[in-house]
A and B are shown apart, each in its own frame.
Chain A
Amino acid sequence: MVDAVVEPILEVSGLVKHYPLTQGILIKKVIGAVKAVDGVDFTLNKGETLGIVGESGCGKSTVAKMLVNLERPTAGLIKYKGEDITRLGGRALKAVRRNIQMVFQDPYTSLNPRMTVGDIIGEPYEIHPEAAPKGDRRRRVQELLDVVGLNPEYINRYPHQFSGGQRQRIGIARGLALRPEVIVADEPVSALDVSVQAQVINLLDRLQNDFDLSYVFIAHDLSIVRHISDRVGVMYLGRIVEIGKDEEIYDHPTHPYTQALLSAVPVPDPEARERRERIILSGDVPSPTNIPSGCRFRTRCWKAQERCALEVPLLAVPAVFRLVPGPAAHDSACHFAEEKQVVPPEEPTDDLGNGGA
């Protein structure tokens, strides 16, 4: 899906979101801050899918909200086609919103239960009347239903009459209504059953080709992210610790956190699993109100040394790999980056049929 011309559509730099912690009933006093996002940089190219993975509380959903302007960053820039959109308001903001849309995680709360499917998918046209003439809207809504694989006759039904997977399709149709260029999908399949997940992922894949979309795909499931992404960023405690092309991250990870995360992914194959080394991290993620000094992963890292507590590692190609071009030479925020293959390469042919009993 990577075209010949690499053209950035979103450029994020130094993105920060701190939520102040306050005390007091009427007069509030700031006593600290939850550092949900603490300096995130990435670019999204046209037609590409950037996966962002991380555990709960790493700030990935907050990044998503800032991308679609649901949260204002404390600091940093989000440039859409070269223009910073974080300080926009009024008409300019509304115009940008047409081009960056979101698909939500929970199909049960992301659709208004008291609106018909037609009203839900048609609402974008009411908010942006210039996007479609009034008489044409109903037809467009039905077209969208068809595009996401639902029967256009369902236009007068209510969300509760649909299953989770179908609701997620409705959410996707709403996101597509204004023909955006970027879709930010925040865990779009994690609330769905396994057999339905695959349907929705295939749909997202197909829509990307048909509508020339760029995706920011946020998830905690590394297998799904690998399936859909061209590039992947791994987040830990409000920062991206490693980012690169999908093979670089999955087959040649250099950051210890990425390696631990990959090794912990359950693989539905007991034999493949026996071939894998497992790294079990000790302890829990520290609180985002009290982030460790230096490298924020050092409290759980088996490689941590004194330097890690003193010096913040930068997200860049580590020095050891700088001179040798190759898949290990990608951005990784670790002082002691070293390549480690965690996911064993695919077996030549793992024939399922001949196993028998």
Chain B
Amino acid sequence: MPEQPFEPDRAIAGTGAGGAMDLATSEAQTLETTPGGPLGTGPAAKPRSLWSDAWRDLRRNPVFLVSALVILFLVVISLWPSLIASGSPLKCDLAKAQEGSQPGAPFGYDGQGCNVYTRTVYGARTSVTVGVCATLGVALLGSVLGGLAGFFGGFWDSVLSRITDVFFAIPVVLGGLVLLSVVTSNTVWPVIGFMVLLGWPQISRIARGSVITAKQNDYVQAARALGASNSRILLRHIAPNAVAPVIVVATIALGTYIALEATLSYLGVGLKPPSVSWGIDISAASPYIRNAPHALLWPSGALALTVLAFIMLGDAVRDALDPKLR
């Protein structure tokens, strides 16, 4: 006999929607024994919806508050780096190369004698822009295309699936070398465009899969039987139930995009000096890791913190959108 992973009866499985969640029926006269929490306080209670409940939940979630604060801070210094850093990130003095922490340069100097603190602060703009814009672009394009393909199925779904297969076959670095080498503009936009171009199939696959899963639920059929339009079914019934995996993968991918920008810059097809970005600094500092570890540590730390903040934000939002976890 094969041993099977075995589920205990539904009622016991904690979060499970078991028969034992004891909301009283009309037959049972009592109403008080409700472990469900503070919901449903009276007939006069305000109507609630998923989004208002999620927002209430988020405001009280410390994980959300901390990550939102970190992200807010990053956005502010991206917009106005001079608020917390004086001097230019491009003003370097070879004489100070690899020097450690000192007044005016709390993070020390890198191999070129540039102020690591100033460069880390100024690098935020590029890195955060690349990370956020590439993620948003990928998530939007991928989930719209994947979601529609999954929802409608048929011929265009097959076409889209084959197209994503083709994109998966393109090696990212090689693709970057080829495509970006023809670009002359030294801004972040070609880099972001390239990331969206190569990144959307990943999200599209996930979105397609989770839309197909959500589509098969009876509540979608129920809405259809009521006469709901396709857009209503997609937006009200499928999207909220299919968005969780997209959020998770997209926030994790955000870090990879920031790192990919570094790789491309290192290979000379991304941003070029005098642009400032964490990626450029990380790759520039890696040869001196033995002599000047601080030059690598600070931009890497900033990158890690940013990625962590977005992943935590994504997790908090995903959980807030799941009523079972309240």
Bound pair: A and B?
A: yes
**A residues whose Cβ falls under 8 Å from a Cβ of B:** 25-26, 65, 68-70, 93-94, 97-98, 101-102, 104-106, 108-116, 118-119, 123-124, 127-128, 138, 142, 146, 149-167, 171, 174, 178, 193, 196, 199
Chain A residue contacts of B159, Cβ below 8 A: 26
Q: How far is the CA of A143 from the CA of B39 in the complex (A)?
A: 19
Q: Is the CB of B228 within 8 A of A154?
A: no
Q: Does B91 contact A (CB under 8 A)?
A: no
Residue of A nearest to B229 (CB): A127
- Candidates B42, B49, B225; contact of A70 at CB < 8 Å: B225
Residue B86 lies at the interface, judged by CB distance under 8 Å to chain A: no
A127 B232 Cβ-Cβ under 8 A:
yes
> Smallest CB–CB gap between A65 and chain B, Å?
8
- Let me know if B322 is at the binding interface, CB within 8 A: yes
Interface residues on B, range: 35 or more
Interface pair A106/B218, CB less than 8 Å apart: yes
**Are A171 and B227 also in contact (CB < 8 A) when A154-B23, A161-B21 are?**
no
- B323 near A174 with CB under 8 A, answer no
Stretch of B25-33, B139-147, B300-308 at the chain-chain interface? B25-33
Bound-state CA distance A25–B160 (Å) is 12
**Which partner residue on chain B sits nearest A171 by CB separation?**
B222
A131 CB to nearest chain B CB (Å): 11
Most buried by A among B47, B223, B322: B47
Say whether B47 contacts A162, CB under 8 Å.
no
Does B286 reach chain A (CB closer than 8 Å)? no
The verdict on A123 contacting B21 (CB below 8 Å), with A112-B241, A114-B240, A157-B36 known, is no
> Are A97 and B219 in contact, with the CB atoms below 8 A?
no
Instruction: Select B227's contact among A97, A108, A166, A199, beta carbons within 8 Å.
Output: A97
Q: Which residues of A contact B229 (CB under 8 A)?
A: 127
| CB pair B17 A166 closer than 8 Å | no
- Whether B45 lies near A156 (C-beta < 8 A) is yes
The 8 Å CB contact of A104, one of B36, B43, B53, B218, is B218
Knowing A26-B162, A127-B226 are in contact, say whether A156-B47 is a contact too (CB < 8 A). yes
- By the criterion CB–CB under 8 Å, are B222 and A174 in contact? yes
Write out the residue numbers on chain B whose beta carbons fall within 8 Å of the beta carbon of A196: 19
The reply to whether A114 and B26 form a contact with Cβ atoms under 8 Å apart is no
CB-CB < 8 A to A128: which residues of B? 226-227
Q: Which residue of B lies closest to A97 (CB)?
A: B227
Q: Are A159 and B17 in contact (CB under 8 A)?
A: yes
B324 within 8 A of A: yes
| Most A Cβ at <10 Å: residue of B53, B162, B226, B323 | B226
- A150-B26, A161-B21, A162-B17 in contact; A156/B223 too (CB < 8 A)? no
Residues of A within 8 A of B324 (CB): 113, 158, 160
State whether A70 touches B21 (Cβ < 8 A): no
B48 interfacial contact with A, CB 8 Å? yes
Choice from B43, B223, B226 contacting A142 with Cβ under 8 Å? B43
A and B contact pairs by CB, cutoff 8 A, 10 listed: A26-B155, A26-B158, A69-B225, A102-B221, A110-B219, A112-B219, A113-B241, A114-B321, A115-B49, A128-B226
Give every chain A residue within 8 A of B43 (Cβ-Cβ): 142, 152-153, 155
Q: Whole-angstrom distance between the alpha carbons of A101 and B225 in the complex?
A: 7
In the complex, A158 Cα to B17 Cα: how many Å?
A: 10
Asked whether A163 lies within 8 Å of B218 as measured between CB atoms, the reply is no
Tally the A-B contacts, defined by beta carbons under 8 Å.
Answer: 154
Residues of B within 8 A of A (CB): 15, 17-27, 31, 34, 36, 39-43, 45, 47-50, 53, 155, 158-159, 162, 217-219, 221-229, 232, 236-237, 240-241, 321-324
Residue of A nearest to B50 (CB): A114
Q: Which residues of B contact A105 (CB under 8 A)?
A: 218
Asked whether, in the complex, the Cβ of B232 is within 8 Å of the Cβ of A70, the reply is: no
A93 nearest CB neighbor, chain B only: B227
| Contact status B222-A193, CB under 8 Å | no
Hey, which chain A residues are within 8 Å of B223, CB to CB? 112, 123, 127
Query: Quick one: given A118-B47, A157-B40, are A97 and B226 in contact (CB under 8 Å)?
Result: yes
Identify the closest chain A residue to B162 (Cβ).
A26
Q: Is the CB of A98 within 8 A of B227?
A: yes
* Closest Cβ neighbor of A26 among chain B residues: B158
Whether A156 contacts B225 in the complex (CB less than 8 A), given A114-B241, A150-B25, A161-B21, comes out as no
Residues of B within 8 A of A98 (CB): 227
The answer to whether A109 touches B226, judged by C-beta atoms less than 8 angstroms apart, is: no
In angstroms, how far is the closest chain A Cβ from the Cβ of B308?
27
- Considering the chains assembled together, what is the distance between the CA atoms of A108 and B19 in angstroms? 11
Complex CA gap A153/B46 in Å reads 11
- Kindly list chain A residues whose C-beta atoms are within 8 Å of the C-beta of B45: 153, 155-156
- The listed residue with most A CB atoms (<10 A of its CB), out of B25, B31, B222, is B222
Nearest CB on A from B50, distance (A): 5
Q: In the bound complex, what is the Cα–Cα distance between A65 and B43 (angstroms)?
A: 36
Q: Closest B residue to A155 by CB, please name it.
A: B40
Residues of A within 8 A of B240 (CB): 112, 114
By a CB distance below 8 angstroms, the chain A residues around B50 are 114-116, 119
Q: Please give the distance in Å from B124's CB to the nearest CB on chain A.
A: 35
**Interchain CB contact under 8 A, B226 and A124:** yes
Cα separation A166 to B27 with both chains bound (whole Å): 11
Tell me the complex Cα distance, A142–B42, Å.
Answer: 11
| Alpha-carbon gap, A121 to B240, bound state (A) | 18
Indicate whether A70 sits within 8 Å of B18 (C-beta atoms), given known contacts A26-B159, A151-B26.
no
Which chain A positions have C-beta within 8 A of B162?
A: 26
Residue from B31, B49, B50, B227 having most chain A Cβ neighbours under 10 A: B227
Query: Does the CB pair B19–A164 fall under 8 Å?
Result: yes
Q: Are A161 and B36 closer than 8 Å at their CB atoms?
A: yes
Q: Name the A residues within 8 Å of B42 (CB-CB).
A: 153
